[in-house]
Every structure is written in structure tokens, then in C-alpha cells.
Amino acid sequence: MEITLRHLEILQAIVVSGSISKAKRALGLSQPTISQQLAKFEELLGAQLIYRQRGNDGQLTQAGEHWFKVAQSVLGTLDQATVNHKARLGKDGVELHFGTTPSMRGRFMEKAATLSRDIPGFSRMEFVWALGSAELVEMIATHRINCAILSEASVVEYKMSIHMVHLFNDKIVLAVPADVDDAALVRTLNRLEHDDDETSPLRNYVEVGKEVPWKSRSEHWYRQRMPRAAPYFSCMTHQGAVDIVAAGLATCHAPLSLLPNLPNSVRDRIKVYDLGEYVRDAVLVMPKHLLTLRPFAEFQQRLSDWVIDEYSEAHLEQELLSLPELRIAAE
């Protein structure tokens, strides 16, 4: 029986990503190639590993469960041995592969890059960004990255092998063009009058891509609070959505943690309102075995200390406004 590491990598990628079609992104292989390699693996074993179901071909059989655990153990041990070798016996040190989402990259990337140069032992640093936390978890599980800032909810099932540091609680905020006055926003939120101007920024909002886990909550809010607003614009990232708002064309929802990463040219053209809703807990994660290596342990400690300070609730909310309707009601 000639079971190879490639067979184990393919099985792990299919399970982690959720399907054969999605695994091609993690493996860099075509879908037919992945299917052929999986079939060959099953032929070698004389057992089916994955149920083929339309729309969900990542469900494991009993044999699949066994070999997935083997894949996790073998590939994890190999990854740990490789990193330990480079750290202790290699001439050039270890590589840091750091991942995050577009809304979080900004100043995180600057600080992470600076620390990678200040801390002895790193030979190279790679920045990778993904549209959502689930994709980052997939990259960690398949050893494409070894450190990431992402949503805690996406990594819960990997807590046994992942070290996690809580960084901050994130809120949903409403971004509005700076030249929209509070009175107009109050009238819209309280449905006191109809705005017949289809080009008014309060008549349009930006819908962010399907990777956003709280997209349905955002859509519900607009249906309840601004029912005459339509999702005229659509884009893949919160940064792009806020750029459209800054142009005076629409409103949007965005995570509060995005604000420190916005350039002044954008920040000065928007107002941001507190909706009172928390959407995610941001965490810094890396495989537990890497903490035995001084460069990774020091990087994790220094970056998390900086983020916890810079992204504290008091710090982030300095420029956050209360919805004007609440101020008027209080008066």
C-alpha cells in the first residue's frame, strides 16, 4: 500500500474546506485532479472515505473519520518537525506567515511587519489576506499560514491544537456621508417623510459579500430601520463599502475595528454611528507547538499586547456617535 503525504493533504483539505470544489483553493490543484487523487486513495484502502452528496461532498464515512485523524496527526507532526528544524538547526531561521481579513489588515500589518524585523529568528515574513475568517482557519489547518487575526467563532473546533489570545470585541457601526445632517437621518429612521430623490445616500446602501458572517443581521436592520433604502451597491470588502460611503453615494455597515485602518482622506468624509450590537470577538491564533519557539512566542505576546491596547473599547469609540434619534428622544 503506497499511501503518500499528498493523499493525506488532499483528504484534510477537503474536510477543512467543506467540499472537493472548495479544496482546490487550498491545494492549488484542479477539481478533477483532487477527485482523481481521492479516488486513488480510496482504491488503495479499499474503502470509501467521503460521501458524494450534491452541494456537500465533505462528509466523512467511518473510514474517512479514521484517516482524517491520521492526516491531522501526521501532517501536524511533520509541520512541527520542519519548523523546529529551521529554528534550531537551520541557518536562516523560521518563516512567519501572517493572515488577516481586509477590514483588519491596515495597522495590524504595519505592527506585525515591524515586530518581525525587531524579533531575532525570523528569516522571512509573508502577509496573506482572506475575505473571511473561515478561509483563514482553512489556511492554518492546511499549513499555508501559521499566525492570524480572525473571529473567535470560526476557530472554536480547533481549540485543541490552536493557541488563542482574545484581542477585542467588535461592533457593527453605521457609516454615513459626513454631509448628511442629523435631521435628515432622524426623519429617515423614524419614517417621518419620504425622500423621493433616488440618488440620496440615505436611499442606497452597500451590500458586502457573502463571506461576512453577520450579513443577514445587516440586511434585517436595513429592512426594519431604513426600509426605503436599496442595496444598489455591492462589493467584496468593508473597506470598499466605506469608500463608496465617503463618495457620498450610500450608507453601509462596517466593523468598528476598521476605523483605525482608514486613511484620513476617507475618515474625514464619513460619520460613524453606534448601533449597540457586538458581532465578533477578534483573536490572535497560531498552532500551539509554535509557542515552544522563542520568535513565535515573543511575536504572539508583543503583537497581542499592542492590539489589546490600541483597539480597546475606549480607544475605538472616541469618534463613535450615538444615533441622532436617541439624542432627540432623550431631550
Look at 84 and 185; give whichever has higher pLDDT: 185
CB count in 10 Å sphere of residue 63: 15
Neighbour-count burial of 158, counting CB atoms closer than 10 A to its CB (0-12 exposed, 13-18 middle, 19+ buried): middle
Condensed to tens digits (0 to 9), the pLDDT of residues 206-263 reads 998 777 778 888 999 999 999 989 999 999 888 899 999 999 999 999 998 888 888 8
Q: How close are the terminal C-alpha atoms of the chain, in Å?
A: 78
**pLDDT at 49 exceeding the cut of 80:** yes
**Alpha-carbon radius of gyration of the chain:** 23
**Quick one: pLDDT band at residue 331, thresholds 50, 70, 90?**
very low
Dump the DSSP string for 152-212: GGGGGGGTTTEEEEEEEEEEEEEEEETTS-HHHHHHHHTT-S----TTSGGGEEEEEPTT-
Structure confidence at residue 58 (pLDDT): 64
Structure confidence at residue 310 (pLDDT): 84
Q: In whole angstroms, how far apart are CA 206 and each of 151, 188, 233, 263, 264?
A: 22, 17, 5, 19, 21
Q: Which of 70-84, 111-125, 161-175, 268-282 is predicted least confidently?
A: 70-84
**pLDDT at 285 exceeding the cut of 70:** yes
What fold does the segment set 5-82 form as a domain?
A: Arc Repressor Mutant, subunit A (1.10.10)
Domains 5-82 and 170-280+320-330 share a fold: no
**Quick one: pLDDT band at residue 306, thresholds 50, 70, 90?**
very high
Q: CA 31: distance to chain centroid?
A: 25
Q: What residue ranges do the domains of the chain occupy?
A: 5-82, 91-168+282-314, 170-280+320-330
Residue 214 grid cell: 453577520
pTM for this model (two decimals): 0.70
The CATH number of 170-280+320-330, from 1.10.1240.10, 3.40.190.80, 3.40.190.10, 3.40.50.300, is 3.40.190.10
Q: In terms of DSSP bridges, do strands 162-177 and 252-255 run parallel, antiparallel, or are they unpaired? A: antiparallel
Percent of the chain whose predicted confidence (pLDDT) is above 70? 90
Look at 274 and 18; give whichever has higher pLDDT: 274
Q: Which of 202-206, 282-286, 316-320, 323-327 is predicted least confidently?
A: 323-327
Look at 102 and 256; give whichever has higher pLDDT: 256
Q: How many Å apart are CA 82 and CA 90, to the nearest integer?
A: 10
CB 2 within 8 A of CB 12: no
Q: How many Å apart are CA 256 and CA 279, to the nearest integer?
A: 10
CATH 3.90.550.10 fits 91-168+282-314, yes or no: no
Counted residue by residue, the chain has a size of 331
Residues 98-110 have a mean pLDDT of 81
Q: In terms of DSSP bridges, do strands 252-255 and 204-208 run parallel, antiparallel, or are they unpaired? A: unpaired
Structure confidence at residue 24 (pLDDT): 79
